[in-house]
Structure 1
Amino acid sequence: MSVSAPPSTAPATASSAAPTAAELLDFVRRSAADRELIASLPLDPEGRTWVRLAGPGGSEAWLIGWPPGSGTGWHDHAESIGAFLTAAGTLRENSLAVRLPTDGWKTLELSEDVDRERELTRGEGRAFGRNHVHEVLNESTAEHAISVHAYYPPLPRIRRYSRTGEVLRLESVERPEDWQ
């Protein structure tokens, strides 16, 4: 379920240059601290909800509601850098500490030491670079989570993966028209 809303009231960066990952993290931190903005997100017990926000410096930003037991599945944000921060509840991020080839492959065997796991409670977040492969989960059985995300440049595509043990398989490539 998506919902349209006015742009975020969080201040944008003053620079007209492309925002850095640190600036995106600062934006999501300020946006997540806006209790009125967070409370404005309608929550659905069946699926994720989202509202598009006006991100800094032409970035793409989203406020996302996560019902209990929901998640993204393994994916990356292609050439975009990004940041996200938990505004309510707890999210888990599983990620890969490895640089993957950007194109021309369908299946990769990962080494045993590439998995990273983070638990992000209210006020905790992270920035990430290009081609960052991860999944985000709300593992709670009873509580919604809410997070703020920002990407620059605006997402040109999202690559979705499946994972069985140490094997990562490219399943699909989505473009903006697929999720807006």
Structure 2
Amino acid sequence: MSATPSATPSATPYVSAGHDGSAHPADGRPGTAPTQAELLDFVRRTAADAELVDSLPLDPEGRTWIRLDGPGGSEAWLIGWPPGTGTGWHDHADSVGAFLTARGELKEHALAARLPTDGWKTLELTEGVDRERRLPAGEGRAFGRHHVHEVLNESSEAHAVSVHAYYPPLPRIRRYSRSGHVLRLEQVESPEDWQ
């Protein structure tokens, strides 16, 4: 799938999917890694691009997406969420990121604890590490490296659409299962597993 950005000024920091991969930072500084604030600004401006959001095909059976080029060589996605879908618990390894709901409402469950990055299969979480956020249209957040969370569309009727950006482009995603206070590493995915 590819997306062609609209010609509005807010859409200029990204280019269509299939781009040559060279960096084009939103601020014009070649080779400068975008900050979490710049990624959040990018997803906010992209979510406001109604033409782009409307171009995403929605499927009642599963999530859909369009890959975008984010600022400073970051990886970005426009994602459609059918009612009742979610990501499951995961992290984005060494990438920082941001996401924002463009349509509908999403819910995020997150852990407010820094986990060891490698060398474990099962962890017992302490009381008080769980965080929950409701993210209606126009609301989002930035996050740091190794942020463990799950994102859900809990609506029984309405699709949700969101914009996500990560830097560096996702080197891997670790997927977890959760049973009460026990978090278990289930799978490590690399980019070729989801592109």
Q: Does the TM-score normalized on the shorter chain lie above 0.5?
A: yes
> Kindly tell me: are residues 54 and 122 of structure 1, through their superposed partners in 2, closer, same or farther at Cα, counting changes over 3 Å?
same
Determine if the alignment matches structure 1 residue 36 to structure 2 residue 51. yes
CA distance in 2, matches of 1:52, 1:6: 10
Match of 2:181 among 166, 172, 177: 166
Q: Conserved in 2, the CA contact under 8 Å of 1:7 and 1:54? A: no
Partner secondary structure for residue 24 of structure 1: helix
Give the structure-1-normalised TM-score. 0.97
Displacement, 1:7? 5.5
Match of 2:146 among 109, 115, 131: 131
Displacement, 1:177? 0.2
Which amino acid is 2:4 matched to? P
Query: Paired residue for 1:4?
Result: 2
**Over 6 Å off, 4+ runs:** none
Which amino acid is 2:193 matched to? D
Identity rate of aligned residues, in percent?
Answer: 78
Q: Which consecutive residues of structure 1, in runs of 5 or more, have no partner in the other structure?
A: none
Displacement, 1:6? 3.2
Which amino acid is 2:124 matched to? E
Q: Conserved in 2, the CA contact under 8 Å of 1:6 and 1:53? A: no
Partner secondary structure for residue 53 of structure 2: helix
CA distance in 2, matches of 1:88, 1:142: 13
Query: Paired residue for 1:26?
Result: 41
CA distance in 1, matches of 2:137, 2:122: 35
CA distance in 2, matches of 1:22, 1:45: 33
Give the structure-2-normalised TM-score. 0.89
Determine if the alignment matches structure 1 residue 94 to structure 2 residue 93. no
Displacement, 1:130? 0.1
Displacement, 1:11? 2.7
Displacement, 1:4? 2.5
Determine if the alignment matches structure 1 residue 63 to structure 2 residue 62. no
How many aligned positions are there? 178
CA RMSD of aligned residues (A): 1.0
Q: Conserved in 1, the CA contact under 8 Å of 2:6 and 2:51? A: no
Query: More strand by proportion, 1 or 2?
Result: 1
